[in-house]
């Protein structure tokens, strides 16, 4: 593997950093406090080409890969995790369309996302089906040329703001195999019977929209099937191989931002007549943080690199997500600790990073589920 980024990738990083520091940083604290969903920032990011970089040019993107997407999100998360999450989830689910959507679906639904005019969502989790996705019970019955959807999903990113949501539905309840019962349907959120209630009171990333959503006889035409009937579970697993590597990048960015704040603070803050950076205990902490971040970044880039070469690797993507999230939590904890009592106050951004970090171990599969995926791959068990 070539660990040197190309000149283009370095330029993308610098452009993403400039945008993040200029546009996200100044408004991050206020958006987090008010829970404001900042539509304008999505449009600005899209104008600069940061949304959907991995879409092919004919679908409005830049035709770049997962690694470039990762580099951009890494910079956003470094500068301001809450707003970075808003921008990250703007394209959530589009990998499923790219992998399994028809040409018509890609041409219709992807360009408005790349322009920043629309945002997407992907609804899998249900009140009684979280980690156990194969037990999801939101029912989609085929009636003539349509599917009629009934059920509910919980904690869905962009539930109240998305223009369309991909919905993981039960279409074949009679199937014996739990992995052949589901299908993915694209639901435009202006269809009668769709309802979304925004969730308030999240621990962190409060500007990002998260909602419980309800389907009451929502009718979609059969053309809204994404991929193959009954293949939803397997499609979901392939999708996660792509999206989990990207969570790795979010975690690396958050870690890097927290780390840099800790470095700056320890060089400034004096106790016992000297900077706290001059204590060996501090240097050990900084050394551990720097090393952990390098391991997470290398693993994440390797997982993205596998995707970009057309060989997404379940084990690598799960490792990138699990390990990078672990690193983020350890790094942000030490970074806050190095701020002492000030770290606990919202005068410094580090407490926002601390609250944001935990989600990285939960969504798109908890850390336990990532370890199951890794362990089973290593042991060769189904
Ligand atoms: C801010 C936010 C945004 C989200 N966005 C989305 C979204 O856009 N779309 C979506 O579909 N979902 C979304 N989710 C939901 C998220 O993906 C789920 O919360 C997550 O998958 C875990 O499911 P659960 O909460 O039901 O936990 P559970 O599955 O009930 O798990 C509870 C605990 O049990 C453990 N556990 C469960 N099964 C096992 C096992 N077999 N072995 C060992 N341990 C196990 C888990 O690891 C966890 O620690 C979001 C959640 C949040 C908080």
Establish whether 364 is a catalytic residue.
Answer: yes
Backbone angles phi, psi at 144, to 5 degrees: 60, -125
**Closest to 327 (Cα-Cα) out of 374, 292, 355:** 292
Tens digits of per-residue pLDDT, 238-264? 999 999 999 999 999 999 999 999 999
pTM: 0.97
pLDDT digits (tens, 9 = 90+) for 162-193: 999 999 999 999 999 999 999 999 999 999 99
Measuring CA to CA, which residue among 280, 265, 254 is closest to residue 337?
A: 265
For the segment 2-18, the average pLDDT, to the nearest whole number, is 92
- Ligand 1 near 362 CB (within 6 A): yes
**Ligand 1 and 125: CB distance under 6 A:** yes
Which CATH number is associated with domain 120-231? 2.40.110.10
Strand pairing of 120-123 and 164-170?
parallel
The CA distance from 180 to 168, in Å, is: 12
Whose structure tokens read 């989990």?
A: 244
Structure tokens at 373: 């995926």
Residues 185-201: tens digit of each pLDDT = 999 999 999 999 999 99
Q: Is the CB of 156 under 6 A from ligand 1?
A: yes
Mean pLDDT of 256-277: 98
The confidence band for 268, taking pLDDT boundaries of 50, 70 and 90, is: very high
Atom of ligand 1 nearest to the CA of 362: 20
Q: Which helix (H) or strand (E) holds 94?
A: helix 94-100
How far, in Å, from the CA of 277 to the mean position of ligand 1? 39
For the Cβ of 122 lying below 6 angstroms from any atom of ligand 1, the answer is yes
Residue 382's pLDDT band (boundaries 50, 70, 90)?
confident
Q: Among 23, 126, 351, 364, which one carries the catalytic annotation?
A: 364
- pLDDT given for residue 132 in this prediction: 97
**Which region holds residue 217: left if phi is over 0, alpha if psi is between -120 and 50, else beta?**
left
Q: Which residues pair with 218 in a beta bridge?
A: 149
Instruction: Say what the pLDDT of residue 355 is.
Output: 98
CATH number among 1.10.600.10, 3.20.20.140, 3.40.50.920, 1.20.140.10, domain 234-379: 1.20.140.10
Fold of 7-114: Butyryl-Coa Dehydrogenase, subunit A; domain 1 (1.10.540)
What span, in angstroms and rounded, lies between the C-alpha atoms of 335 and 289? 9
Domain range annotation of the chain: 7-114, 120-231, 234-379
| Residue 2 predicted with pLDDT over 90 | no
* Of 84, 77, 82, 76, residue with least CA distance to 18: 76
Please give the distance, rounded to the nearest whole angstrom, from the Cα atom of residue 22 to the centre of ligand 1: 34
Mean pLDDT over residues 224-251, rounded?
Answer: 98
């Amino acid at each position: 593997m070539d660990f040197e980024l190309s000149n283009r990738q370095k330029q993308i990083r610098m452009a993403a950093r400039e945008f993040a520091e200029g546009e996200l940083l100044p408004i991050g604290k206020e958006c987090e406090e008010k829970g404001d969903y900042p539509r304008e920032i999505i449009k600005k990011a899209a104008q600069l080409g940061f949304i959907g970089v991995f879409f092919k040019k004919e679908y409005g993107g830049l035709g770049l890969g997962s690694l470039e997407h990762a580099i951009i999100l890494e910079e956003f998360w470094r500068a301001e995790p809450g707003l970075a999450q808003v921008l990250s989830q703007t394209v959530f689910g589009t990998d499923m369309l790219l992998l399994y959507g028809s040409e018509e679906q890609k041409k219709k639904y992807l360009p408005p996302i790349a322009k920043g005019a629309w945002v997407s969502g992907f609804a899998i989790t249900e009140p009684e089906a979280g980690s156990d996705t194969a037990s999801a019970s939101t029912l989609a019955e085929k009636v003539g040329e349509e599917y009629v959807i009934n059920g509910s999903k919980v904690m869905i990113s962009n539930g109240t703001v998305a223009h369309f949501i991909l919905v993981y539905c039960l279409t074949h309840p009679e199937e014996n195999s739990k992995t052949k019962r589901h299908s993915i349907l694209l639901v435009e959120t202006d269809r009668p019977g769709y309802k979304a209630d925004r969730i308030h009171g999240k621990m962190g990333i409060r500007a990002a929209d998260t909602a419980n959503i309800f389907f009451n006889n929502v009718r979609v035409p059969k053309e809204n099937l994404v991929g193959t009937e009954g293949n939803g579970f397997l499609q979901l697993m392939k999708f996660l191989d792509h999206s989990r590597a990207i969570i790795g990048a979010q975690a690396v960015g958050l870690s890097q931002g927290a780390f840099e704040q800790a470095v700056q603070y320890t060089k400034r803050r004096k106790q016992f007549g000297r900077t706290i950076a001059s204590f060996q205990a501090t240097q050990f902490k900084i050394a551990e943080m720097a090393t952990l971040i390098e391991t997470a970044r290398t693993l994440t880039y390797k997982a993205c690199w596998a995707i970009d070469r057309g060989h997404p690797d379940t084990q690598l993507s799960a490792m990138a997500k699990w390990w990078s999230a672990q690193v983020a939590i350890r790094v942000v904890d030490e970074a806050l600790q190095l701020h002492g009592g000030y770290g606990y106050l919202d005068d410094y951004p580090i407490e926002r990073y601390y609250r944001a970090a935990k989600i990285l171990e939960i969504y798109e599969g908890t850390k336990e589920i990532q370890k199951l995926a890794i362990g089973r791959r290593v042991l060769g068990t189904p």
